[in-house]
Amino acid sequence: MSRRRRIYEGKAKVLYEGPEPGLLVQYFKDDATAFNNEKKGVIDGKGVLNNRISEYLFTRLSEIGVPTHFIRRLNMREQLIREVEIIPVEVVVRNVAAGSISKRLDIPEGTNLPRSIVEYYFKNDELNDPMISEEHITAFGWANPSEIDDMLSISLRINDFLSGLFFGVGIRLIDFKLEYGRLWQEEEMRIVLADEISPDSCRLWDIESDKKLDKDRFRRYLGNIAEAYREVAQRLGIIQETNIEELSNTKADLTVRGKS
Ligand code: UDP
């Protein structure tokens, strides 16, 4: 791995130069951060699970015609992706109130929203990803109106599809965050889904018990984080209960090693 050129290192993933121009390798780390880096930890096996869950979801989405950067999974922690120019806008889709919308608008967590709500955030750690509107996106040139239209319609389609997919395995898709990039192919540019979709970027609650099966277990010190991510992978049929250990490079020790 050290032979490869590292292009970018984020909080939960590293991007390496790929085998040919236009391709990158996306490596999933076990690191977890929350509250803009204030809370840090390592969750053994998280990267392996997110690699598999994101592979599964991106594959299902491309089957219904959603364009994505994903090509194929390479190994336990890596996937081959197309290099795109990331649009610095995080698109959040919400079905049920939780997290920041509950705080901001004083809506109890778990309240069904009257309809799905899409929000935009400026992808900027120094500014703590502030919420923005379409006006900001176009005025500052982060994306043009047609790109915003594309991101909005693809995001709503993803929401419908993933809500059904998770419902089928007894999970409520509360909210999630998407990122998009520009991909140039033969003089043409199109908007494609990038980054990852995993329990790090979604809120997933068990339909019966409301048990949280996502990163809120880390944010809120609820414990058993990797077990919850594993449960998501198992319910989706990605892994069988019998070969859980094989998934992880590390032993099936699921404790969080807190750094702070
Ligand atoms: N989210 C994310 N990355 C971010 C911010 C949010 O993946 O930088 C996801 C988060 O996991 C949740 C959804 O987007 O599924 C909405 O997050 P919210 O605005 O409620 O923020 P939070 O509670 O994480 O501060």
pLDDT tens digits along 152-178:
999 999 999 999 999 999 999 999 999
- Predicted confidence at residue 36, as pLDDT, reads 82
The CB of 120 under 6 Å from ligand 1? The reply is no
H or E segment and range at residue 81: strand 78-82
Pocket test for ligand 1, best of 38, 177, 197 (most atoms within 8 A of CB): 177
The CB of 216 under 6 Å from ligand 1? The reply is no
- pTM for this entry: 0.92
Structure tokens at 127: 């500014």
- Residue 102 CA: nearest ligand 1 atom is 20
- Predicted confidence at residue 247, as pLDDT, reads 53
Q: Say how far apart CA 121 and CA 131 lie, in whole Å.
A: 4
First to last CA, the chain: 28
Q: What is the mean pLDDT of the chain?
A: 93
The answer on pLDDT for 250 being more than 60 is no
Instruction: Kindly state the DSSP code that residue 76 receives in the 8-state scheme.
Output: S
Higher pLDDT: 1 or 30? It is 30
- Predicted confidence at residue 251, as pLDDT, reads 41
At residue 245 the predicted structure's pLDDT band, cuts being 50, 70 and 90, is: low
At residue 241 the predicted structure's pLDDT band, cuts being 50, 70 and 90, is: confident
CB neighbourhood size of 223 (10 A)? 12
Q: Say how far apart CA 4 and CA 197 lie, in whole Å.
A: 25
The CB of 201 under 6 Å from ligand 1? The reply is yes
Domains of the chain: 1-260 (3.30.470.20)
Q: Cα Rg for the chain, rounded, in angstroms?
A: 18
Contact present, 69 and 181 (Cβ < 8 Å): yes
- Predicted confidence at residue 50, as pLDDT, reads 98
Report the candidate in 1, 2, 203, 247 with the shortest Cα–Cα distance to residue 109.
203
Higher pLDDT: 173 or 240? It is 173
Q: Burial letters for 47-72: b for 16+ Cβ neighbours within 10 Å, e otherwise?
A: bbbbbbbbbbbbeebeeeebbbbbbe
Average pLDDT over residues 73-92: 98
Please give the distance, rounded to the nearest whole angstrom, from the Cα atom of residue 200 to the centre of ligand 1: 9
Structure tokens at 70: 């994903």
Q: Say how far apart CA 117 and CA 91 lie, in whole Å.
A: 10
Structure tokens at 170: 């007894």
